[in-house]
Structure 1
C-alpha cells in the first residue's frame, strides 16, 4: 500500500509540476506543447536520477526525522499517511489546473499525521524554520530578479529580432559594354528572408545567429529548471519509500521508481497546469520568458544543491509575476487569486488527509 501511494504521489507530482520548467518556452511560443513537454520530461528524469548523488539532505529531511521522533518517522504507517495526504492534495490541484507545491502538500501531511501520532511532542519550530520559511519566502524572492531582468532581456531580444533572417553571398553579375553577362570574382553579400536567399541562389554566410541563440537559451533554461526540479522533488518523495524493506533500505531504487512515475504522470496529465502556467498568469513575450527562466533555474538549482526544500511552483510563479509587472502584459488578478487560494488550502488539506489516514491505518 505504501509503494502504491508513493508512486501515485510521484505521478500526480509529474502531472502538476513537470511542465513548470518549460512554461516560458511554450508560453512564448518558441516550441509546441509536445516538444516542450518531452524536453521537460527528459531533463526532469535526469535530475531525478542525479538526486541519488547530490540531494542526500532532502532525502533525509523528508523522512520526517527531526519533525517527529525517529520511532514514528520510520513507521510504514506514518509514511503511508504522508504519501497519501500529499497525493490526494496534488491530484485535486492538477485536476483543477492549479499549480500547487508538492513540497507544501507533503509538509501539511507530515504535520497532520505527526500531530495525531505525537501531539504536542512534534517539533513545530523545525516545521517553521526548515520547511515553511523557504516556501513562503521563495515566490517573493523570485519576483525581484525577474522584475529587474525583464526589461534588459526584452531589449536584447528586440536587437536580435531586428537582424535579418538570412545573410547570404552570391556571385556578382557584370554586364560588358557589348551586353555580355559575366560573373564577377568578388561575391556580394545579400540579406533578406530565407525564401529570398534561396530564390536568388545565394549561399548562407557564416555569422552569429542571434535569433537562434535566443531560442537555444530558452531551451537550455527550460531544461535547467526541469533538471533542478527533478533534483529537488524526487528525494522528497523517495524518502517515503525508505521503510519498504524490499527496496533494501537505501534510496537508489526508490529514486528510480519515483523518477519513472513522475515521468509517466507528466506525460499523461500535464496539459491543464501547462495552460495555466504558460497562458493564464501573464502573456509572455520572449524577453519575459528569458527573465523568468533565468530566475527560476538559478533559485531552484541553488536550493537543490544546498538541501533547501523550496517549491519550483512558488519560484516559477513568482518569476512570472515579476516579469508581468515590469513592462509586460500585466498579471491576471483572478488567476493569481485562485492560485494563491490554492496555496493557502494546500497545507490544511494535506494535514487533514494525512491525519485521517494515520488514524484509520493500523
Structure 2
C-alpha cells in the first residue's frame, strides 16, 4: 500500500500542475506579451522554485494537511487515510482539468479529507475546525482579490498608456558649440539629453544608457507573474507533500522534492485547456489589467503562504482577473464565470465522495 500511496500522491501533484501551473502566467499569455510555451516555461521555473522554498517557508501548511485536527491522530497517521485523500483529490482535479475548469486543489483536498474522515471517524471528526481553518479562507479568497484588482487596474492602464506615449530609448551626451552674438567667441559644451535611438546615434553624441519604457513594463509584468508562480508553488506543494509523511521512509524534504517534480511534469504536459480558460475566456486582457491581476494575486497568495493560511491560488487568480476585467471596457464573460463558480461549488462534495469511496475500499 505504501507504493500505491506514493503513486497516488504523485498523480495528485501532476494533476495539480496541469490545473494550476499556468494560473500565474495567464496574464502574460492573455495579453499576448509572450507566447504559450514561453509563458508555461516561466511558470514551471518559478513554481519549482516556490515548491523547493516551501521546505523552509511554509512548514505551517505541511502540518495542517496531515489531517490531524480533523480526525484523531491515529487515523491521520494511517497510510489508507492518506491514500484515500490523495486519490479522491487527484480524481477530482483530473476531471476538472479535462474539462478546462480552473478549480482549487485545496478545495479538492479538503473535500477528500472530509469524506475519508467521515467514514474513518464518523461523528468524531472535527468538522467545526474545518470550517474555521479551511473553508473561510477559501471562500473569502476571490472576494478579497476582486476589489484591489478592480481599483488598481485603471491606474496601471494609465501608466501603460503614458509609457507608450512618452517612449524614451536612450540617455546621451551631445557635444556642441556656443557662439556669441557678435560671432567672435565660441566654446564647446556638453548637453545631457534623452531621445530616440536615432537621435542618440550621431557622431557628436555619446550614449550613456539605453532603455525602453514599454520594455520595462513588460519586465515588471514578467516579475509579477513569476511571483505568482513562486507563491503558488510555496502554497500548494506542502499541502500535497503532507500526504506522504505517513510513509516512514520519506521525510518532509524528500516528500516536497517528489511532489515538486511531479507538479512540474504535469504542468508541462497538461496545462493547455485550463490555460485557454484563464487567459482567453474570462476577459479580454489588456496590459494594465494584466499587471493589476498579477500584482493582486502575487501579494495575496504570498502573504497567505507565509502565514500558513490555505487560500486557493485559483480563487485568488480568477477573482483578480474578474476584478481587473470588470474595470475595463471588455468586462467579464459572465457565462464562463458562472461555470467556474459552479465547478467550485461541486469540488468539495465531489472530492468528499471519492475520498469516502476510496477509504471504504482500501481500509
TM-score by length of 2: 0.90
Alignment of 1:161-200 (within 5 A): 161-164=164-167, 166-167=169-170, 191=195
Seen in structure 2, the aligned counterparts of structure 1 residues 235 and 171 have a Cα distance that, compared at 3 Å, is: closer
How far 1:85 moved relative to its partner? 0.5
Alignment of 1:172-251 (within 5 A): 191=195, 206=209, 209-247=212-250, 250-251=251-252
- Equivalent-residue separation in structure 2 for 1:313 and 1:18 (angstroms): 10
- Equivalent-residue separation in structure 2 for 1:227 and 1:204 (angstroms): 37
- Equivalent-residue separation in structure 1 for 2:199 and 2:173 (angstroms): 9
Unaligned runs of 5+ in 2: 178-187
Seen in structure 2, the aligned counterparts of structure 1 residues 190 and 78 have a Cα distance that, compared at 3 Å, is: closer
- Equivalent-residue separation in structure 1 for 2:167 and 2:74 (angstroms): 67
What is the match of residue 7 of structure 1?
Answer: 10
What is the match of residue 303 of structure 1?
Answer: 304
Unaligned runs of 5+ in 1: 175-183
- Equivalent-residue separation in structure 2 for 1:205 and 1:164 (angstroms): 17
- The aligned length equals 349
How far 1:322 moved relative to its partner? 0.5
- Equivalent-residue separation in structure 1 for 2:48 and 2:194 (angstroms): 45
CA RMSD for the aligned pairs? Answer: 2.2
Alignment of 1:323-338 (within 5 A): 323-338=324-339
Of 68, 71, 79, the residue aligned with 1:68 is: 71
- Equivalent-residue separation in structure 2 for 1:89 and 1:354 (angstroms): 10
- Equivalent-residue separation in structure 2 for 1:15 and 1:135 (angstroms): 20
Alignment of 1:85-234 (within 5 A): 85-164=88-167, 166-167=169-170, 191=195, 206=209, 209-234=212-237
What is the match of residue 181 of structure 1?
Answer: none
- Equivalent-residue separation in structure 2 for 1:61 and 1:186 (angstroms): 65
What is the match of residue 36 of structure 1?
Answer: 39
Kindly indicate whether the alpha-carbon contact (under 8 Å) linking 1:24 and 1:293 is maintained by their aligned counterparts in 2. yes
- 1:272 is aligned to 2:282: no
Q: What's the CA shift string for 1:172-215, capped at 9, x where partnerless?
A: 999xxxxxxxxx997897855x6x67998997662653212211
What is the match of residue 182 of structure 2?
Answer: none
How far 1:163 moved relative to its partner? 2.1
- 1:348 is aligned to 2:349: yes
What is the match of residue 257 of structure 1?
Answer: 258
What is the match of residue 179 of structure 1?
Answer: none
- Equivalent-residue separation in structure 2 for 1:104 and 1:265 (angstroms): 19
What is the match of residue 17 of structure 1?
Answer: 20
Q: What's the CA shift string for 1:124-159, capped at 9, x where partnerless?
A: 111101000000001000001001101111111110
Alignment of 1:309-320 (within 5 A): 309-320=310-321
Aligned residue for 2:283, secondary structure, equals coil
Aligned residue for 1:206, secondary structure, equals strand
Kindly indicate whether the alpha-carbon contact (under 8 Å) linking 2:293 and 2:321 is maintained by their aligned counterparts in 1. yes
TM-score by length of 1: 0.91
- Equivalent-residue separation in structure 2 for 1:164 and 1:302 (angstroms): 35
- Equivalent-residue separation in structure 2 for 1:359 and 1:215 (angstroms): 52
- Equivalent-residue separation in structure 1 for 2:249 and 2:192 (angstroms): 71
How far 1:59 moved relative to its partner? 0.4
Aligned residue for 2:22, secondary structure, equals helix
Moved more, 209-218 or 313-322: 209-218
